[in-house]
Structure 1
Amino acid sequence: MSTAPSKPSAVPDTWNRLLQPYLTHLGTQGSRTSTIETRRQHLECLARGIEADPLDVTETRLAQWCAAQTWRPESRRARLTSFRLFWRWAGNEGLLDDVAMGMPQELCRSSPPEPTPDLVYLHALRRSDARSRMILRLAAEVGLGRNEIARIHSERDLLLHADGCALAVGGVGNGARYRPLPEELSSELFDSGPGWVFPGKDGGHLSPRWISALATRALGAEWTLRSLQHRFAVRTCAVDRVAFAL
């Protein structure tokens, strides 16, 4: 049975004093909750890893720290965007010099999809507990990302209709997208009871970071929740091509 990932170390107060007003700024300008959460995770990772107060971070030091990380191309691009936006805000507010201004905006073209192999996926399902299996299936068979999985609320997002069950993703009302659910998976989601499908300890839901960590632990270090989404996308495109040919 999988165990919960260990908690990261605390973010230094010198960083928190800047990050909190920046995250508030993002909320004020109307950024989505998932976007704010992503920016927070990226910046907290930097704050814990660079071992310097914000005022001591230079353009060279930031570039060297980023170069030493083993991020995938798409992850690197997203993190550099978070850093540029944070320092742009801090510079405009007169809090910090904008040392991220020169960070590259386009490192490389999107890398080809790397879908999780079937054997890896099936083995992970067999050895996982019920919660982790559901996370894996939502990514591999429905195509959901970690933010979408974390925020599934059974009473709000699960919809019954004549053809089966669908899941509302990414909003409410007219802003939602609807994904059909496999029958067995929809039964498990309904059986989870009312409220958050993946509840946390504080009355809310599990964080997207924990969702992602549980998936990686089940799959093994080489594969991630993202690679399960690639599996879904590749299979969906293949089905669409066959249907078009027919």
Structure 2
Amino acid sequence: MKRSYRLVFVLPVLLAVVTACEPEPGPAPAPVPNPGNTNPDPSTGTPQTRTSPFSLTSSARDPDTSTPAPEEPVDCTVNGLLNTSSALGTLDFRYDAFVLTAQKTGRVVIQGDVLSVNPNGYKYGYAYPLSMATIEDGVTFTATGGTFYQNALETGTAITDYPVMAGRQYVLVYKTFGSFTPQTYCLKLPSTLKVEGRIYTPPTPVPIPADSAGLITLENPRPDVLGRVVPWLNERVKSN
């Protein structure tokens, strides 16, 4: 009986000594940094590259082969086409959106001419097809606007103006009702507005660079900004 009592007493002491000799747990591993253009997959935790469905392309549009090509005015800055497959649109409208950079400060006059239109639609297109908005610091936007000097009801020619500041960028919209398409049009812009390109939807989403900054150009399309521009424009196009 005495021998059994001693074994019971010694075991807790030995366990305490072994526990005291175990190494202390090391610090938790530092979290893996997440690049600015990635989000982890919630199911796997693997970083995924952020993408945008929008990018910038040349302002030129493919010709509409379903109708005879109109004679192109020589003073067009942009000769455009709106049809049922145009990338941008909402509810009853189809529209094109162009990114512009102002070279000088002042008011700019912009003219839009209907060249041809669906013969079953209104022959002069939409009365107030033009509007502009300021891109503030490449992030936020101000209300679309412009002062109309002439609508397109009588001749198909709309004329408006808009105040601009040198070095800032703007989005110019030209729109019409979907039922008026296919429609070709001509935009006449002053030389103080540089056309960077037209917003479009590429076949597959484009990755958003981690260091996206600067002016929106063909070489730096800023897809993160364009991905915010289009939903913002859709809300204003469908309400006007």
TM-score interval, normalised by the smaller of the two chains: under 0.3
TM-score of the two chains, using structure 1 as the length reference:
0.23
Structure holding more helix per residue: 1
Higher relative contact order, structure no. (Cα contacts within 8 Å, ≥ 6 residues apart): 2
Between Structure 1 and Structure 2, whose CA radius of gyration is higher? 2
Structure holding more strand per residue: 2
TM-score of the two chains, using structure 2 as the length reference:
0.24
